[in-house]
């Protein structure tokens, strides 16, 4: 069993329930991971993913090895049949097979480069490991998805919903740097698995996510209108998908402010973090009692623990 996309979940409702059970008693399965090793490979920076996934593995009694592959590993070649006389020192084939001998599960973080859309959509790093590794693969944020984050988001919404059919709004917000679409992609895919929530995406015109992911999810270009009666506001920046990886809008009117939150049904504020204060969201909103970003980050542990637990039960 791999976990590379939130779409691999058979029943989101069931998984969220199981994660909440783990949260109540996180050390219950302390023996499940005994003598099993999680190898975590980071091609990009992380705070939450690194520590929460490690914490989850420790809760399950696993050994954990972490490598900052991006700065410390050999540069990898992903194409088959290449004459490797340029920059890459090692082929993914050997690297993945070798790491598999040290690991029972390999977790990988490898962001989009945001230069070549086709290459990013091909998920070169994740798919390279999936092809050549001989142990299960866990996605800790790839070029196009962040399924551990969106599972944590689902857990957090379940804990905070106050009515049967809450309205959830994914809102684009400005950012000075070009960011990948992985988090909003997985959030959209997770919302498509929700059967008892209304979902709206709001962003400036031209900032549409990959239509193969958004499918028939509702898009409202008027942010104020989208916020009306919302129960959850999920803020996130992403760079332009059509003009791939570019920043074509940095309008501060899209920043989440207290006045915008007044349009909602006393909505909870969510963001995956890290967040740029007073760019994405004002201090007033993120510091308000409606902000659940810290709880959201805490739930990353239980999202990872649930997935690791399921994989361990399969490989046992």
Q: What are the residues binding ligand CP (CB under 6 A)?
A: 46-49, 141, 149, 272-274
d(CA 311, CA 316): 9
**In whole angstroms, how close is the CB of 275 to ligand CP at the nearest point?**
9
Q: Which is nearer to ligand CP, 139 or 149 (CB)?
A: 149
Report yes or no: 181 and 209 within 8 Å, Cβ to Cβ. yes
Q: Which is nearer to ligand CP, 44 or 249 (CB)?
A: 44
Q: CB count, 10 Å around CB of 74?
A: 12
Please provide the distance, in angstroms rounded to a whole number, between the alpha carbons at the two ends of the chain: 12
Q: By beta-carbon distance, which residue lies closest to ligand CP?
A: 49
* DSSP letter (8 states) at residue 3: B
Q: Which is nearer to ligand CP, 136 or 180 (CB)?
A: 180
Place of tokens 């996510």: 209
Structure tokens given for 116: 């070549």
For the chain, the farthest-separated pair of C-alpha atoms sits apart, in whole angstroms, at: 60
**In whole angstroms, how close is the CB of 52 to ligand CP at the nearest point?**
8
Q: Which is nearer to ligand CP, 77 or 123 (CB)?
A: 123
Q: Which is nearer to ligand CP, 260 or 271 (CB)?
A: 271
**In whole angstroms, how close is the CB of 14 to ligand CP at the nearest point?**
24
**In whole angstroms, how close is the CB of 111 to ligand CP at the nearest point?**
9
Structure tokens given for 72: 């410390």
Asked if residue 274 has a cis previous peptide bond (ω within 30° of 0), the answer is yes
Q: Which is nearer to ligand CP, 36 or 48 (CB)?
A: 48
d(CA 83, CA 86): 8
**In whole angstroms, how close is the CB of 293 to ligand CP at the nearest point?**
10
DSSP secondary structure of 48-78: HHHHHHHHHHHHTT-EEEEE-HHHHSPPEE-
**In whole angstroms, how close is the CB of 261 to ligand CP at the nearest point?**
22
Q: Which is nearer to ligand CP, 22 or 140 (CB)?
A: 140
**In whole angstroms, how close is the CB of 145 to ligand CP at the nearest point?**
12
Report yes or no: 220 and 201 within 8 Å, Cβ to Cβ. yes
Of 289, 296, 192, which is closest to residue 235 (Cα–Cα)? 296
């Amino acid at each position: 069993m791999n976990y590379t996309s939130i779409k691999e979940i058979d029943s989101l409702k069931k998984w969220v329930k199981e994660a909440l059970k783990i949260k109540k008693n996180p050390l219950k399965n302390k023996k499940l991971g005994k003598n099993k090793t999680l190898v975590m490979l980071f091609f990009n920076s992380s705070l939450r993913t690194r520590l929460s996934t490690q914490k989850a593995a420790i809760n399950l009694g696993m050994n954990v090895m972490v490598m900052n592959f991006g700065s410390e590993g050999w540069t990898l070649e992903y194409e088959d049949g290449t004459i490797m006389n340029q920059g890459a020192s090692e082929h993914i084939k050997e690297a993945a097979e070798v790491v598999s001998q040290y690991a029972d599960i390999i977790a990988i973080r490898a962001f989009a480069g945001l230069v070549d859309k086709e290459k990013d959509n091909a998920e070169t790093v994740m798919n390279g490991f999936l092809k050549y590794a001989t142990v299960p693969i866990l996605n800790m944020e790839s070029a196009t998805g962040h399924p551990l984050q969106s599972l944590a988001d689902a857990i957090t919404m379940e804990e905070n919903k106050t009515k049967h059919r809450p309205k959830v709004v994914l809102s684009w917000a400005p950012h000075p740097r070009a960011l990948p679409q992985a988090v909003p992609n997985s959030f959209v895919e997770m919302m498509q698995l929700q059967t008892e929530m209304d979902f709206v995406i709001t962003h400036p015109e031209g900032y549409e996510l990959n239509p193969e992911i958004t499918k028939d999810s509702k898009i409202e270009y008027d942010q104020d209108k989208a916020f009306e009666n919302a129960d959850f506001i999920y803020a996130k920046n992403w760079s332009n998908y059509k003009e791939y990886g570019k920043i074509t809008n940095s309008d501060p009117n899209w920043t989440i402010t207290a006045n915008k939150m007044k349009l909602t049904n006393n909505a909870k504020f969510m963001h995956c973090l890290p967040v740029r204060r007073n760019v994405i969201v004002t201090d007033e909103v993120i510091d308000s009692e409606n902000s659940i970003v810290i709880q959201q980050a805490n739930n990353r542990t239980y999202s990872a623990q649930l997935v690791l637990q399921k994989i361990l039960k399969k490989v046992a």
